[in-house]
Chains A and B, each alone.
Chain A
Amino acid sequence: MVNDVSMSVDFAGIRLKNPLNTASGTFGSAQQFENFYDVSLLGAVTLKGASAVPWEGNPQPRMAEVFGGMLNSVGLTNPGVRGLVAESGAYLAGLASKGTAVICQVAGHSVEEYKEALVLFEELAPWASAFELNISCPNIAKGGAAMGSTPEGAFEVVNACRPLTKRPLIVKMGPVRVQEIARSCVDAGANALSLINTISAMSIDINTHKSRVARPTAGFSGPAIHPIAVRMAWEVCNAVDVPVCGIGGITCGADAAEFLLVGCKAVSIGTENFVDPAAAVRILEELKDWARSQGVSDINELIGAFEC
């Protein structure tokens, strides 16, 4: 192979083999993808959000396909931190030992619940490289986007969680007031940011006059949101100095490359994992091809290379 490109990046003090990460809630507990490829080829995996106690989530139907993507109203169904660790801890420890960063996502309905879940993770998940605070789920009535949609709310959650771990804290942000919220997360001690979570949206069955999912609104993801996500990631990269993980509608190497160009140090594959379960490794190869085509020997030369 000519001119092999170094793909390794530094993300909040974690050395990633490459910038490829997976978006929370679209990658299960990573194990589900071993039938499709060796998951340890990825730089990182981010797990489905987990809370201190199990959550049932929302009623059926919990998804609808829409133009250019899908709506989901899963509402953070999860077996709780203890359940997650019991089911997947051994596998995840093995994955971490192969040099793939395992990022555990923390969910809560209140500041107290975020703290409880983080304390449990801190104790039960020694293999986790970092924790991601989900303050942007649009599908739950309390917590999630209900707390993370203002700079004050975001600050409160991050500030309360910060003393509870020495490991890097990432904040998963929604598609609202991104520059202000990014700054307040960093002020409260966040080491990195990831965005965007799904966009709150609606789809209505015109014959029954009802929502196509069990709640009036649901989270929109998929290729249609990509240009919006790139714009928001660019704004955040300009506003703060911590590393940013770009998420939203990535289906191929070119989509991922746009996030790197605007300054993201990592990218997460979301809905595309459902469409092509082997997407993340394919996109890794496509990113390498792109880097070669740009004549660089290190992917870091392309991060933030956007000219305006």
Chain B
Amino acid sequence: MTTLSSAHKYACSVLVNEPLAQDIWRMRFSCPELAQSMRPGQFFNLAVPGDPSNILRLPFSWSVSDPREGWVEFAYLLVGEGTRRMTTMIPGTASDLVGPAGNGWYIPQNTQHALVVGGGSGVVPLVALVHELTQHGVSCDFVEGAATQNRVIYEDAITHYGAHFYLSTDDGSRGVHGFSTQISQDLLASSAAYDVVYTCGPSPMMRAIAAQAHEARIPCQVSMEKLMACGFGACTTCLVDTKNGRKTCCTDGPVFDGEEVLW
């Protein structure tokens, strides 16, 4: 069944755009309509000006927002032409976006203790989630997996919200040497008290976390990244294979039940 997107088209204007970590930038932009309507885990499709030969919008999650002041912030990893061109969007640059898109995270009733695992730029939508969870009195263990110590993002915000912060780096430059999945495995083994697991990051990581949660009989939500041409349900380029058939990542997701995804 087609899920209709809640996305509208809104003007936005860059307030801050600066390096946050190695190859990762932080952008904060003004867009009151989005700041007031977007829930954690939802995303928006940003028009990146400057190159008419590169036409499609890029989808991004958000980390922090201020509905009263009307701004939204996110971090982006420089991976290709579009994200590199975004670094030239100086404060004052006007653009537009299509959002809020997708379903966002779901907080089950009576959740008291959550395990949250983010890898790379997948940390972004989890920052907004942890803020929401801690505001609802949910205690959070947050595991961040980064390639190296210079790529750790949002540690301050996450600890400021009151989550316990655990870190792994692929190269061992800080925290546990290895993957976030080792820490999550230990946490799941040492405490059976989690009501829910949330994860966003590279597909193999999410797959492993979903398997760990399954083993521990804890519900797990995963946020999938698919290549998207439209981001609001019009093109069917972004399908995710699930046990319940193919679903549309940009409208039925990006958050899916970890049990449901066929990896």
Known: A77-B246, A223-B55. A277 touches B2 (CB 8 A): no
Chain B residue, CB-CB nearest to A222? B55
A68 contact from B53, B57, B227, B234, Cβ within 8 A: B53
Pairwise interchain contact A28-B234, C-beta atoms closer than 8 A:
yes
Pairwise interchain contact A60-B2, C-beta atoms closer than 8 A:
no
Q: Is the interface of A mostly helix, strand, loop or mixed?
A: loop
CA distance A79 to B248 in the complex (A): 12
B54 interface hit (Cβ, 8 Å) = yes
A129 interface hit (Cβ, 8 Å) = no
CA distance A223 to B55 in the complex (A): 9
List A contacts of B235 (CB < 8 A): 25-26, 28, 63, 72, 74, 274
Chain A residue, CB-CB nearest to B98? A277
List A contacts of B232 (CB < 8 A): 32, 35, 277
Chain B residue, CB-CB nearest to A221? B229
Distance in Å: Cβ of B62 to nearest Cβ of chain A: 19
Distance in Å: Cβ of B58 to nearest Cβ of chain A: 10
Pairwise interchain contact B2-A31, C-beta atoms closer than 8 A:
yes
B239 interface hit (Cβ, 8 Å) = yes
Mark contacts of A110-148 with chain B using CB atoms, 8 A cut-off: 1 yes-contact digit, 0 otherwise: 000000000000000000000000000000000000000
B9 interface hit (Cβ, 8 Å) = yes
Pairwise interchain contact A70-B8, C-beta atoms closer than 8 A:
no
List A contacts of B226 (CB < 8 A): 60-61
Pairwise interchain contact A28-B229, C-beta atoms closer than 8 A:
no
CA distance A48 to B236 in the complex (A): 10
A35 contact from B2, B7, B238, Cβ within 8 A: B7
A179 interface hit (Cβ, 8 Å) = no
A18 interface hit (Cβ, 8 Å) = no
Chain B residue, CB-CB nearest to A251? B55
A88 contact from B2, B9, B54, Cβ within 8 A: B2
B4 interface hit (Cβ, 8 Å) = yes
B78 interface hit (Cβ, 8 Å) = no
B233 interface hit (Cβ, 8 Å) = yes
Q: Is the interface of B mostly helix, strand, loop or mixed?
A: loop
CA distance A74 to B239 in the complex (A): 9
List A contacts of B107 (CB < 8 A): none
- Interface size bracket, A side: 35 or more
B15 interface hit (Cβ, 8 Å) = no
B77 interface hit (Cβ, 8 Å) = no
CA distance A277 to B10 in the complex (A): 11
Pairwise interchain contact A273-B230, C-beta atoms closer than 8 A:
yes
B242 interface hit (Cβ, 8 Å) = no
Known: A36-B9, A223-B55, A274-B56. A29 touches B239 (CB 8 A): no
CA distance A36 to B231 in the complex (A): 14
Known: A32-B5, A35-B7. A275 touches B236 (CB 8 A): no
Distance in Å: Cβ of B197 to nearest Cβ of chain A: 24
A271 interface hit (Cβ, 8 Å) = yes
List A contacts of B233 (CB < 8 A): 28, 32
Chain A residue, CB-CB nearest to B251? A32
CA distance A27 to B226 in the complex (A): 19
List B contacts of A87 (CB < 8 A): 1-2
CA distance A274 to B230 in the complex (A): 4
A56 interface hit (Cβ, 8 Å) = yes
Mark contacts of B221-262 with chain A using CB atoms, 8 A cut-off: 1 yes-contact digit, 0 otherwise: 000001111111111111101000010000000000000000
List B contacts of A222 (CB < 8 A): 55
Pairwise interchain contact B57-A275, C-beta atoms closer than 8 A:
yes
CA distance A28 to B237 in the complex (A): 11
Beyond A60-B239, A273-B230, 14 additional pairs, beta carbon < 8 A: A26-B235, A28-B235, A32-B5, A35-B232, A57-B239, A60-B226, A61-B227, A62-B227, A63-B227, A63-B229, A67-B54, A79-B2, A274-B56, A274-B231
Q: Which residues of A contact B (CB under 8 A)?
A: 25-29, 31-33, 35-36, 48, 56-57, 60-65, 67-70, 72, 74, 77, 79, 87-88, 222-224, 271, 273-278
What are 30 A-to-B residue pairs whose CB atoms are below 8 Å? Answer: A25-B235, A25-B236, A26-B234, A28-B235, A32-B5, A32-B233, A32-B234, A36-B8, A36-B9, A56-B246, A60-B227, A61-B226, A62-B238, A62-B239, A63-B229, A64-B227, A65-B56, A68-B53, A70-B229, A72-B237, A74-B237, A77-B236, A88-B2, A222-B55, A223-B55, A274-B57, A275-B56, A276-B9, A277-B230, A277-B234
The 10 A-B residue pairs whose C-beta atoms are closest, nearest first, are: A274-B230, A28-B234, A63-B237, A32-B234, A62-B237, A77-B236, A32-B233, A274-B229, A67-B53, A87-B2
